[in-house]
Structure 1
Amino acid sequence: MLTLRQIEVVRAIMITGTIAGAAKLLNVSAPGISRLMKHTERTLRLKLFERRHGRYVPTPEAKDIFEQINGVYRKVDDLHSMLARIERGGDVEFKLGSVPSICHVMVPRAIERLRRKHPDLRIDINILKIEEALDYLLLGKGEIVAMSYKLDHPGLDFMPLAMGELLCIVPQNHALAGRTSISAREIVSHELIGIDPTDPYGRIMSEIFQRQGLHYDMAIKARFGTTVCSLVRAGLGIAIIDQFTVAHGSMQGIATIPIEEPTHFQTYMAMKNDKALSLYAETFVKLLREEMNAVVGPRLARSS
């Protein structure tokens, strides 16, 4: 029985024709190659090489062995090529979904880093409402979904992503724009543009208002954070938004103000629980978590 090391040495001698050449090819000492070659011939009870004019010439039997060894190396080369193709993401499409609040800024930043690691990877991104995420995963339309809260479902697992908080947003030229914080009581004294109270983020703020007995009225409601930001920029009022939607100054024409009351929320990555994540999904989750944690404010970091 030949070991992989013996196969490697036999092939190196056949390619180079000398012990010294084989040693250089394998980056080892020549005496070590010579000893291993003699041991191999004793083990096989077969002469593999004859020395002629300072070179090692394979015997007819060794030539047959060499053909088999080359076949092994061709298979190894094929394996290396396949591994390199996997590393680059070749011939693969990675499908993921995200709720709008995470997809607007955070997902593109993570995708840019993912493509640097796997430059040939094809990516299909779907912006989903929360109620659409279940079918997307259960019907196998995509591998993972970034979500603003988790659901109870026997077929899904939820992996924590990052803790975030809500912010008050006002037009850039608003009287409140220079404030370092604002209370719920102050917020309701202004014209308020609202996210739907049944939305996970909208529910957090509406519960704060209710606990404090604060009456609030929203003449304008909007489902998605980017629409809310545009309404605020147009001077139609102030609003509450999650910090990920407005991260890295993505929304021009508005100012953000921390809210004095706790408004923490946990985000999650959802996936089917009967299937292992791909290399690309695992890497993306890691990168997305890093991007989201990078925008978490010091106040939230201290409290978590």
Structure 2
Amino acid sequence: MMTLRQIEVVRAIMITGTIAGAAALLHVSAPGISRLMKYTERMLGLRLFERRHGRYVPTPDAEDIFEQINGVYKKVDDLHFALRRIERGDGLELRLASVPSISNVMVPRAVVRLRQRHDGLRLDINILKIEEAVEYLLLGKGELVVMSTRFDHPGIDFLPLAAGKLVCIVPEGHELGRQSRITTREIAAHPLIGIDPNDPYGRIMTELFRQAGVTYDIPIRARFGTTVLALVRAGLGIAVIDEFTVAHGSAPGIKILDIDEPTDFQTYIAIKAGKPLSRFAETFIALLRQEMAAVTRLPNGPQRYRKK
């Protein structure tokens, strides 16, 4: 039985008509090609080529063999074409969702890099509230949800994504804009544009003021970070927001201040429990983790958390 290497060498000689040409086509030495061809002929007990005017021409007895070899190569070419389509993502789709705070800056940056690797891949991207994630995953509407928190659910697994922190944002020209850091007590001295205390980031902000023992006023409350940014930029107050929403210069007209007190939080990828991720989903998660870790400069692990 001929090996794939023997088939490759015989076909190269058939195509080029010379030992030197076959060696150049396969990027090997000519003596090696000559030895393997002679060995193949001895093994088969059949002359595959005869010399005519300095070129190797298939013998009549070998014509059927060459037809079969061409058939093998056609199937190999078809396989390579199919593999290239899979690598590009042609005809395939990745469906994912994200909470708003991570969808505005981080998700698009990861998607750009994903498309650079798989330019034929189609994507369906949704923006969801945290409470919508369960239905999205369990009903098979998408493969993953980028989350700002985790919760206990027997049908959902969570992959740690990136650690982050909250920051204080003030409009350009604000009196606080002269400093780079701020305390919770200083924040409480100004009207706040706040988020729902039941929101993961809202709970952290509320705990900050509770631990500092200060009262605060939130005359304007908004659900999404983009709205908070617009309100702060308009000079209607200051706000506490996650660092991912304002990363990479995405908040012009706004000054970002670090908060002295700890405001750390962890983000996650939510997936349907027990369901393997597609290679495209795994690549997206890895790229998103890299993008977010670059903002926070904190290491993140690939462990999976699930309610026991």
TM-score, normalising length: structure 2? 0.91
Counterpart check, 1:231 vs 2:231:
yes
Q: What is the match of residue 177 of structure 1?
A: 177
Counterpart check, 1:164 vs 2:161:
no
Q: What is the match of residue 286 of structure 2?
A: 286
Tell me the secondary structure at the aligned position of residue 177 of structure 2: coil
Shift in Å, 1:264: 0.4
Tell me the secondary structure at the aligned position of residue 177 of structure 1: helix
| 1:110-259 to 2 correspondences below 5 Å | 110-259=110-259
CA RMSD of aligned residues (A): 1.8
Alignment partners' CA distance in 2, 1:117 and 1:26 = 28
Alignment partners' CA distance in 2, 1:59 and 1:154 = 69
- Give unpaired runs (5+ residues) of structure 1: none
1:209-249 superposed Cα distances (whole Å, 9 cap, x missing partner): 22232222322211111111112222222111001111122
Alignment partners' CA distance in 2, 1:150 and 1:29 = 60
The amino acid across from 1:79 in the alignment is L
Q: Moved runs in structure 1, 4+ residues, more than 6 A?
A: none
Mean Cα deviation higher: 64-73 or 147-156 = 147-156
Mean Cα deviation higher: 2-11 or 120-129 = 120-129
Shift in Å, 1:98: 0.6
Mean Cα deviation higher: 240-249 or 57-66 = 57-66
Shift in Å, 1:91: 1.4
Residue 176 to residue 29, structure 1, CA distance change in 2 (3 Å): same
Tell me the secondary structure at the aligned position of residue 90 of structure 1: coil
1:175-194 superposed Cα distances (whole Å, 9 cap, x missing partner): 11121211111211211221
Mean Cα deviation higher: 238-247 or 268-277 = 268-277
Alignment partners' CA distance in 1, 2:36 and 2:73 = 20
Q: What is the match of residue 60 of structure 2?
A: 60
Alignment partners' CA distance in 2, 1:50 and 1:207 = 88
Alignment partners' CA distance in 2, 1:20 and 1:116 = 39
Alignment partners' CA distance in 2, 1:275 and 1:97 = 17
Shift in Å, 1:90: 1.6
Q: What is the match of residue 21 of structure 1?
A: 21
The amino acid across from 1:84 in the alignment is R
Tell me the secondary structure at the aligned position of residue 74 of structure 2: helix
Alignment partners' CA distance in 2, 1:232 and 1:25 = 65
1:116-157 superposed Cα distances (whole Å, 9 cap, x missing partner): 222222221111111111111221111221110122223332
Tell me the secondary structure at the aligned position of residue 33 of structure 1: helix
Shift in Å, 1:31: 2.0
Alignment partners' CA distance in 2, 1:125 and 1:270 = 15
- Give unpaired runs (5+ residues) of structure 2: 300-308
Mean Cα deviation higher: 17-26 or 122-131 = 17-26
Alignment partners' CA distance in 2, 1:267 and 1:131 = 15
Alignment partners' CA distance in 2, 1:109 and 1:45 = 61
Tell me the secondary structure at the aligned position of residue 295 of structure 1: helix
Shift in Å, 1:27: 2.0
The amino acid across from 1:243 in the alignment is E
Q: What is the match of residue 75 of structure 1?
A: 75
Shift in Å, 1:206: 0.7
Counterpart check, 1:296 vs 2:296:
yes
Alignment partners' CA distance in 1, 2:71 and 2:126 = 45
Alignment partners' CA distance in 2, 1:246 and 1:24 = 56
Tell me the secondary structure at the aligned position of residue 266 of structure 2: strand
The amino acid across from 2:156 in the alignment is L
The amino acid across from 1:21 in the alignment is G
Tell me the secondary structure at the aligned position of residue 218 of structure 1: coil
Shift in Å, 1:262: 0.2
Q: What is the match of residue 302 of structure 2?
A: none
- Give the count of matched residue pairs: 299
Tell me the secondary structure at the aligned position of residue 150 of structure 2: coil
1:195-215 superposed Cα distances (whole Å, 9 cap, x missing partner): 111100010111122223222
Tell me the secondary structure at the aligned position of residue 193 of structure 2: strand
Alignment partners' CA distance in 2, 1:223 and 1:183 = 24
